Amino acid sequence: MKPKGEKPAKEAAKAEAKPEEAKRVTFGIDKNADFNEWYNSIVRKAELCDLRYNVKGFVVFQYWSVAAMKQMYNILEAILERKRHKPYWFPALIPEKNFNLEKEHVAGFAPEVFWVTEHGAGEKLEEKLALRPTSETAIYQMFSIWLRSYKDLPFKTYNRCQVWRYESKATRPFLRSREFHWIECHDAFANEEDARQQVREDMQITKEFLLDELGLPFIFFERPQWDKFAGAVNTYAADQFLPNGRLLQQPSTHYLGTNFSKPFNVKYLDANGKEQYCHLTCYGPAISRIFAGIVIAHGDSKGLRFPFNIAPLQAIIVPILFGKNDEAVLKYAESVRESLAGKFRVDIDLGEGKPGEKFYFWEMKGVPCHIEVGPKEAEEKTLTVVWRDNGKKEKVKLGEINRFLEEGGKALSQRLKVQALESFKGMIGEAKSLEEAKNLIEGGKVVKVNFCAIDKSGEKCAEAIEKGFGAKVRGKRMDIEEKPAGNCIVCGAKAETVVYIGREY
Amino acid sequence: MKPKGEKPAKEAAKAEAKPEEAKRVTFGIDKNADFNEWYNSIVRKAELCDLRYNVKGFVVFQYWSVAAMKQMYNILEAILERKRHKPYWFPALIPEKNFNLEKEHVAGFAPEVFWVTEHGAGEKLEEKLALRPTSETAIYQMFSIWLRSYKDLPFKTYNRCQVWRYESKATRPFLRSREFHWIECHDAFANEEDARQQVREDMQITKEFLLDELGLPFIFFERPQWDKFAGAVNTYAADQFLPNGRLLQQPSTHYLGTNFSKPFNVKYLDANGKEQYCHLTCYGPAISRIFAGIVIAHGDSKGLRFPFNIAPLQAIIVPILFGKNDEAVLKYAESVRESLAGKFRVDIDLGEGKPGEKFYFWEMKGVPCHIEVGPKEAEEKTLTVVWRDNGKKEKVKLGEINRFLEEGGKALSQRLKVQALESFKGMIGEAKSLEEAKNLIEGGKVVKVNFCAIDKSGEKCAEAIEKGFGAKVRGKRMDIEEKPAGNCIVCGAKAETVVYIGREY
C-alpha cells in the first residue's frame, strides 16, 4: 500500500523544507456550504476516478471506488438471489432491428445510442449494432424462446453489466457519464397482479440495499405519466436529496405491462392451454451512481466516510515509531495485520510521514477506523482504535479486537445512517401556494404540495411549475399514503394527490 | 427452482402417455469417443448458454454457467488481491489514435476490432472508437499520467471486463466467441528483472487458480518468437489438452519490455532523479474459456461434474414421497435447506417427476451431491448423501451435515483433480522423428520433441511441421527444465531446446 496524495500537492511539497509534513494534505471543505466544490475535490483527492481519459464523457474508475463498488455488487447480488433472481450475461451488442420493435422505447433511447457499424479496416457490418443503452430489446427476444408454459413463470433474471449512453447533458463522475456500471433485472409474470407485486418487491430490495445496508435515505415515488421510462406503463423511482437541494434519481423499477411482450412475442400457455402474453417488469440499480450517493450522503468536511461493509479498507494500522523499539512495534503491527486479514480488509501504513499526517490522510479516504500501534501497545498486547466519524479513541485487548471491530463497524454504519436520515428529513418542506413552494425550493428544500393529478391531466400544471422556478413534479410517495386536503397549488382544482417537487440534479 | 429439460424434449414429452417420466432425460454420451457431440450437447442440455441470440458469434450466458463463473471471478480476484493487484474499471471504448501508437499491436489486433462510428440518428462521431479487444492502449496512457517516481512502482492493476473481437475463425460457445468475459492485469515495474518476476508470479497465479482451485491441469510454455502476443517481447501461455488431442490455450502472460511504455510515454524518476521507461507486463485469464476447460476436463458420460467450490448448487435436496407422511418429509426437507443455506448453495427439487429422474437430471447438471430425504430420514433426523462422481451413498446425522459436506466437497474436488491429471499425463507422447510425431499426433497425443530453436531461427522448421501434419510448436515448458539430447526432428541440426507440438483447438 502506497498512499499517494494528489500529484500537484506532492510536487509542491517536494519544494518545501519539511516535505514529509506537507506531503499528506487535509481536506477541509464544507459539504453544505459549497457542495459542488466539495464533490469535485473529494473525487480527485481520494482518487475515486480520473477524468483525464481521452474519450468525452468516459472516466477511469480507480481502485478506491472500485474496491467499494465490488462490495456493493456482492451485497446487491446476494439480495437479488435471495429473492430468486438468477444471474445471466446478455450480449452488449443489440441489432438495430430489435431496437426498433417497441416504438416508445426507440423514441426514448435512440438519441442516446452509440452504434457499431464497422470492423477491421473499415469494413461495414451487415447490420448496425447498438451498444446497449439498456437491454430490454436484447433480453425479451430470448424470453420469447425460453418461456412456454405457466410453469416457467415467474422467470426472474439479473444481468451485471455496463451500459453506454450518448448523454447530451453535462457529465459528472459517477453521477452521469456515457458509460456506467449497473445491474438490470428483467422479470416475466403470468399476469398484471404478479408483475405489480414484483415492482413492490423491487422497492423493498432498494430499501434493503440503499437504506439498510448503505445507510442511504430516499423516497420512492410513482412518477407522473409524463415522466416514465420509455415503453413503461408505470415508472417508480427512488429520489435521494443532495445537500444543494437537488434531487438525484436512484434505482427505478418499471411495470411494462404487455408493451414489450407483444412486439417481442413473449407468450406462455396458461393452465387451460390458452396462449397469453407475459407481463414484464424491469429494475435498474446503477452501482456507480449509488456509490456517488454514498459519497455525498456520508462525507463530511474531513473527506469520505464509508459504511463499514463496503469500505475498501475497514481499518488501517498506523505504527507509532519513536526511534527505539521500532522493530518490536513493526513486528507487532504486522502480526496484528495478519490476524485481522482473514476477517477484515485491513492494511498497515508503512509510508513516509508522521502519524498525524497519516491519520488525516486515511480520514480523508473514509476508512472507518485507524489502529494505533506504538511501544506501549506492543508491550501490553493492546491496540488503540480511533473511529472515523466521531473521533472516539478506545483501547482494546488484542484478543478482543475481532469482535470489537465487528460490533464497532456496525455501530459506525448505524451512526452514519442516523445522521443521513436526519439531514434528509430536514430537507422536506411543505407549501400551500406556488409562492411558498418557490421560496422553499430556492432555500434548498424539497417541497410537498397538493396537486391535481399525475395522470396526463396534470401535465400542464407540472409545466407551469417547471417554467416558474425550475422544479419538477417527482410524483406520489409510495412508502406511505398521503391524502390531499385542499386544491392543486397551480390550477386550484381539487387536488387528487400529494406530490413532491424539487429541482433535478 | 424449476429445473427445465430441453424444450424439444419437453414438448415431445407432453405428447406421451406418462409425461412426468419422460420429462427429464439422461445424458449418456461418451466424452472420449465423440468429444464434439458431447460438448455441444452438454452446453445445450445443461442450459449453459444459448446460441440463438441474433448477432453472429454472440451468445447468451445462462444462469447455470454464470452462477459458476461468478464463483470463479471471486476466487481469481481474491488471489490477485493477495498478490497486491488493485481493481480498476477502464472504459470499453478506445480512441483510434491510441490504438495506432504501437505498430505490432495494431497490426495484430486491428483486423479484429469492432468500431463505434455513430451515435443517435446516424450522426458521425468525431473519432472512431474501438470496442476494446484488449486494453493496453486504453490503460497505458493512464499509467503515463499516474506514475511519477520509483516509489510508485510496482504498480499492479486488474480490470474485470468483457472484450470484443471480430473473430474470423468459427466460434464455439465459451471456447471462442466475439464477446468474452475475462480479467486483464496490467502492471508496471522499474526494470526488466522485476517485470520478469511478475511474469513468473502470473504463472503461479494460474497454477493456484486453474490447478489448485479448479483441478484443471495445463502446461505453461514459452511461446516461440513467431507466436507472440502482438507487441510483446515474450509470451508465456498455458495449454490445456482436450480429449480429442487438441491444445486449448488458457491464460497467457506477456513481458512487454518498453515496447508500449515508449509510445505511451510511461516513465518514472529513479532514485537518482533520472528518467526511465517502465517495464510492463500484462496477463489475461479468460473466465468464459476457463469455464469451458472445466466442463471439458471434469465432465463424464452422465454430464457435468463441478468442483465443489464453483458449483452453482453444491447440494440438491430430493424429497422421497410415498403418499403418506409427505407433509412431515417436506417440512423436514425445508428445515434442512434452511439450516444449510447460510453456508452452502443448496436447493430443494419440488418439481414434478420421480426421484430417480431427478437424480439423473441433477447428475447431468453436475451438482456435487444430492441429498435424499424420505420418511425414514425425517424420523431419524438423518440425511442420505450421494456423491456425483463416484455414486457413493452415505447416511449422515443432521447435526454433522455441515462438516460432512465441507469435507466431502473438498474430497470430491480432489478426486476430480486426480482423474484430470491422470488423463492429462496420458496424453503426452515423445517422438524422435517426424514420422513418429505425426503418428502420435494423429493418435490424439501432444508430443514432446527435440527442436532446433524457438527464436526466429526455428520458424522454418515449425512451418514444416504445420504443413506436414497440421501441428504447431507450442514452445518450451516453463515448469520444469528439459534439456535436449539429440537433433531437431525437422532440420537435424543440434537441438537447442525441447518443445511440445500438437494441433490447436
Q: Per-residue DSSP letters for B24-55?
A: S------TTT-HHHHHHHHHHHTT-EETT-SS
Residue A296: partners with Cβ closer than 8 Å, 6 or more residues away: A31, A35, A39, A240, A242, A243, A248
- In terms of phi and psi (left: phi > 0; alpha: psi -120 to 50; beta: otherwise), the region of A484 is beta
Is B60–A166 a contact, with Cβ atoms under 8 angstroms apart?
Answer: no
A350 touches chain B (CB under 8 A): no
Residue B256: closest CA among B289, B226, B234, B227: B234
CB distance from B294 to chain A under 8 Å?
no
| Largest pairwise CA distance in chain B | 85
Q: What is the mean pLDDT of residues B99-128?
A: 92
Check: CB of residue A222 under 8 Å from CB of residue A479.
no
Q: How many CA atoms lie within 13 A of B421 on its CB side?
A: 11
Three-point CA angle B332, B334, B336, nearest 5°: 70
Average pLDDT over all residues of chain A: 93
Determine the Cα–Cα distance for residues B182 and B180; give it in Å rounded to an integer: 7
Backbone angles phi, psi at A14, to 5 degrees: -55, -35
Total residue length of chain B = 505
The whole-number average pLDDT for the span A3-10 is: 39
Are B120 and A110 inside 8 Å of each other by CB? yes
Q: Among residues 162-191 of chain B, which lie with CB inside 8 Å of chain A?
A: 162, 164, 166, 179, 181
Residue A14 has pLDDT above 80, yes or no: no
A364 sits in which H/E element: helix A355-364
Q: Tell me the C-alpha distance between B181 and B287, whole Å.
A: 6
Which of 60-79 (B) contact A at CB < 8 A?
A: 60-63, 66-67, 69-70, 77
Share above pLDDT 70 across residues of chain B, in percent, rounded to a whole number = 95
> Measured between alpha carbons, how far apart are the two ends of chain B, in Å?
36
Which of residues B348 and A342 earns the better pLDDT score?
B348
Interatomic CA distance for residues A359 and A317, integer angstroms: 10
The pLDDT score that the predictor gives to residue A354 is: 93
| A108 touches B at CB < 8 Å | no
Of B62, B92, B120, the CB nearest to A88: B62
Span B276-294, average pLDDT: 98
Nearest CA of chain A to the CA of B253: how many Å? 22
Inter-chain touch A60–B90, beta carbons under 8 Å: yes
Distances (CA, A) of A360 to A222, A297, A336: 43, 20, 22
Q: What confidence score (pLDDT) does residue B260 get?
A: 96
% residues pLDDT > 90 (chain A)? 90
User: What 3-state DSSP class applies to A72?
Assistant: helix
Mean pLDDT of B37-61: 97
- Is B121 an interface residue toward A (CB < 8 Å)? yes
Q: Is the pLDDT of residue A320 over 90?
A: yes
- Across the interface, do B63 and A88 touch by the CB < 8 Å criterion? yes
Q: With an 8 Å Cβ cutoff, are A112 and B118 in contact?
A: no
| pLDDT score of A358 more than 60 | yes
Q: Which residues of B touch A62 (CB under 8 A)?
A: 88
Going by the DSSP 8-state scheme, the letter that residue B210 receives in this structure is I
Cα separation, A144 vs A265, in Å, equals 6
pLDDT surpassing 50 at residue B4: no
What rounded mean pLDDT belongs to chain B?
A: 93
pLDDT digits (tens, 9 = 90+) for B9-44: 333 333 333 333 344 556 899 999 999 999 999 999
Distance from the Cα of B318 to chain A's closest Cα (Å) equals 19
Least confident of A3-7, A134-138, A473-477: A3-7
Half-sphere exposure of B196 (CA within 13 A, CB side): 7
- Mean pLDDT, rounded, for A89-111: 91
Could you give the domains of chain A?
Answer: 65-297 (3.30.930.10), 310-424 (3.40.50.800), 428-502 (3.30.110.30)
C-beta of residue A208 within 8 angstroms of C-beta of residue A251: no
CB contact under 8 A, A93 and B58: yes
Burial A122-138 (b: 16+ CB within 10 A, else e): eeebeebbbbbbbbbbb
What stretches of B190-262 adopt beta strand conformation (E)? Answer: 219-222, 234-241, 246-257
Give the three cell numbers for residue B250: 488458457
Helix (H) or strand (E) holding A128: strand A123-131
Q: Which of A10, A59, A162 sits opposite B92 (nearest CB)?
A: A162
Q: How far apart are CA A401 and CA A419, in angstroms?
A: 26
Can you tell me the mean pLDDT for A68-82? 98
Residue with cell 506532492: A10
- CA A118 to chain B, closest CA, distance in angstroms equals 5
User: Is A5's pLDDT higher than 80?
Assistant: no
| Secondary structure letter of residue B89 according to DSSP | B
The verdict on a CB contact (< 8 Å) between B113 and A120 is: yes
Mean pLDDT over B334-348 rounds to: 96
Instruction: Report which of B254, B223, B290 is spatially closest to residue B134, judged by C-alpha positions.
Output: B254
Q: What's the mean pLDDT in A197-218?
A: 98
What value does the mean pLDDT take over residues A194-218? 98
Compute, in degrees rounded to 10, the torsion defined by CA atoms B457, B461, B466, B469: -170
For residue A148, list chain B residues with Cβ-Cβ distance below 8 A: 7, 10-11
Question: Mapped to the 3 state alphabet, what secondary structure does A273-324 carry?
Answer: CCEEECEEEEECCEHHHHHHHHHHHHCECCECCCCHHHCCCCEEEEECCCCC
When CB atoms are compared, the residue of A112, A131, A141 closest to B54 is A141
B421 interfacial to chain A (CB closer than 8 Å): no
**Global confidence as pTM:** 0.94
- What confidence tier does A26 reach under pLDDT thresholds 50, 70, 90? low
Distance (Å, rounded) from C-alpha A291 to C-alpha A72? 8
| Chain-centre distance for alpha carbon A292 | 6
B95 has a chain A CB within 8 A of its CB: yes
CA–CA separation, A389 and A392 (whole Å): 8
- Give B 192-211 residues with CB within 8 A of chain A: none
Dihedral pair phi/psi, residue A363, rounded to 5°: -65, -45
Q: Is the pLDDT reported for residue B320 higher than 70?
A: yes
pLDDT at A493: 95
Number of H helices, E strands in chain A: 16, 23
> For residue A221, what are the contacts with CB-CB under 8 A and spacing of at least 6?
A236, A237, A238, A239, A474, A475, A476, A477, A478, A499, A500
Task: Classify residue A148 by its DSSP letter.
Answer: -
What is the percent of chain B where pLDDT is above 90? 90
Cβ–Cβ gap B91/A55 under 8 Å: yes
Short-list B199, B160, B207, CA closest to B280: B199
pLDDT at B44: 97
> Which residues from A are below 8 Å from B129, CB to CB?
55, 114
Report the Cα B453 to chain-centroid distance in Å.
30
Reference A181, options A207, A162, A157; nearest CA is: A162
How confident is the model at residue A382, as a pLDDT? 97
Instruction: Quickly count: other Cβ atoms within 10 Å of residue B398's Cβ.
Output: 15
Residues in chain A: 505
Contact B264, B247 (CB under 8 A): no
Chain B residues with CB-CB distance to A122 below 8 A: 115
Q: Which residues of A are less than 8 Å from B110 in CB distance?
A: 120-121
Res B26: pLDDT: 66
Please give the C-alpha separations between residue A188 and each of A281, A286, B229, in angstroms, as whole numbers: 7, 21, 44
Helix axes A326-341, A401-426, angle to 10 degrees: 70
Whether pLDDT at A17 is above 50: no
Put simply, the answer to whether B179 touches A93 (Cβ < 8 Å) is: yes
Please tell me the predicted confidence (pLDDT) of residue B368: 98
Residue showing cell 463497524: A409
Radius of gyration for chain A, computed over Cα atoms and rounded to the nearest angstrom: 26
B107 inside 8 A of chain A by CB: no
Q: Does B14 touch chain A (CB under 8 A)?
A: no
Does A100 reach chain B within 8 Å, measured CB to CB?
no
Q: Does B9 touch chain A (CB under 8 A)?
A: no
